[in-house]
A and B are shown apart, each in its own frame.
Chain A
């Protein structure tokens, strides 16, 4: 920071942050500020007037008359000196002042000789720059001109304050608009999801009814399916993006085996977030697989275990989830005679719902299930 030698560096960092908070630097000219420099030039009868704001390596002019540039490097700035002085700074002959005698604006074109500047200070007294006038002759300001220039500087500051207040309000309005938009999206999504969930539950009643023999059996299977569905919905709702981590979905199903002395399951795979379109069917599939393993497979005896392994790869811009469920150490399995809801879900629902390729194998070791499905990348809520 070139101006560090005039101000202590730590307060200069703070000052620059305050200057930036006005969001004024590099904005286009505005008539209200242009009028104020015109007024300053007319009242002081000078050819040049500027609203100069001191940035870290330059002075930038919000408005100027008679100079023809929007900024200069800081080594040419006289306002940098003026803004840290109390009151009005008047230099009748710049060539006579050792601080400015070698300034290129003084020694060369436009050969400025006279300077008067009133500091622009925030209500807390932090200097941002100056409203200043230049002339190419040696001269002074009258009492009236001095007082008016000081008042105009306060007007510049009042405008800057107003501008900042409006910018803050705009930012707040924008934020609440975004929040409102997100809320509308979520309410609509919630409505759809509730309707869909009810229709899904209804379909589950039908499907469970078709594949169970007694009311007790129906009640048991059905309530467990609903409980599993509810857990997946919990995970989806907890997350800002309305996605659920695959690992957590699987852990929900394996919770009863958490405390077992012998490890009953292994989950191997990178963190992957599933959107509702995939999380719900995959959660249901894992539930059916677990239920089946507890009744007939690797979790039906004390020694078996389940290995769930997944990975994600990308083919032609589409990310695909590959998931494998492998049971080891259970009793020998064979292909069931009767197709229950579980196999309907795995072999018909998953392909239809998730565009999944699935394979179910009854191997010597135990059941093996594999699926590959494209990840749904649609973001439900906006990013901000």
Chain B
């Protein structure tokens, strides 16, 4: 990543459980990330993506307005890395054509998400 040394990476959060979203946001912000969102619907995230490209994204699979597949496709098109943070194993089938997706099953120990983000950003996850 060609980031200026002092920049805070911008992470898009797509998550419709507000408490979880806010907790992820707090954790990331504490660890020095900028957060876009949290967005609770795919439509809102897509709208935001029209003008901005994040450094990476954390996506829940099933949102209020449907599956996150469209967002995943848009991010792939822009070569933005993302990881899936979801409790629904069966949702994996909707993303089966994406290769090497980092899949983190809810819930995880604190710190795991931040660590995963670091790995995604250096391209090792």
Contact A353 B107 (CB under 8 A): no
Chain A contacts for B22, CB-based, 8 A: 203, 207, 344, 348-349, 352
Contact B106 A349 (CB under 8 A): no
Contact A195 B87 (CB under 8 A): yes
Contact B107 A207 (CB under 8 A): no
Chain A contacts for B107, CB-based, 8 A: 195, 198-199, 202
A139 within 8 A of B: no
Chain B contacts for A192, CB-based, 8 A: 87-88
B62-96 vs A, Cβ < 8 Å mask (1 yes, 0 no): 00000000000000000000000001100000000
A108 within 8 A of B: no
A28 within 8 A of B: no
Q: A345 to B22, alpha carbons, bound, how many Å? A: 10
Q: A352 to B16, alpha carbons, bound, how many Å? A: 8
Chain B contacts for A200, CB-based, 8 A: 17, 19-20
Q: Which of B101-124 contact A (CB under 8 A)?
A: 106-107, 110
Instruction: For the complex, count residues of A whose C-beta is within 8 A of B.
Output: 20
- When A199-B106, A352-B18, A353-B17 are in contact, do A207 and B87 touch as well, CB less than 8 Å? no
- When A206-B26, A207-B23, A348-B22 are in contact, do A195 and B106 touch as well, CB less than 8 Å? yes
Chain B contacts for A349, CB-based, 8 A: 18-19, 22
B50 to chain A, nearest CB (A): 21
- Secondary structure class of chain A's binding surface, majority of residues: helix
How many B residues touch the partner, as a band? 10 to 19
B34 within 8 A of A: no
Contact B88 A352 (CB under 8 A): no
B105 to chain A, nearest CB (A): 8
A205 to chain B, nearest CB (A): 8
Chain B contacts for A350, CB-based, 8 A: 18
Q: Which of A133-158 contact B (CB under 8 A)?
A: none
A363 within 8 A of B: no
A210 to chain B, nearest CB (A): 7
Contact A204 B106 (CB under 8 A): no
B59 to chain A, nearest CB (A): 15
A196 within 8 A of B: yes
A186 to chain B, nearest CB (A): 16
Chain A contacts for B23, CB-based, 8 A: 202-203, 206-207
Contact A281 B87 (CB under 8 A): no
A residues with a Cβ closer than 8 A to B are 192, 195-196, 198-200, 202-204, 206-207, 210, 281, 344-345, 348-350, 352-353
Q: A203-B19, A207-B23 are in contact. List 6 more A-B contacts (CB 8 A).
A: A195-B106, A196-B106, A200-B20, A348-B22, A350-B18, A352-B16
B residues with a Cβ closer than 8 A to A are 16-23, 26-27, 38, 40, 87-88, 106-107, 110
8 closest Cβ pairs, A-B complex: A195-B87, A352-B18, A203-B23, A353-B18, A203-B19, A349-B18, A199-B107, A202-B107
28 A/B residue pairs, CB under 8 Å, sorted by A: A195-B88, A195-B106, A196-B87, A198-B107, A199-B17, A199-B106, A200-B17, A200-B19, A200-B20, A202-B20, A202-B110, A203-B17, A203-B20, A206-B23, A206-B26, A206-B27, A206-B110, A207-B23, A281-B18, A344-B22, A345-B19, A349-B18, A349-B22, A350-B18, A352-B21, A352-B22, A353-B16, A353-B40
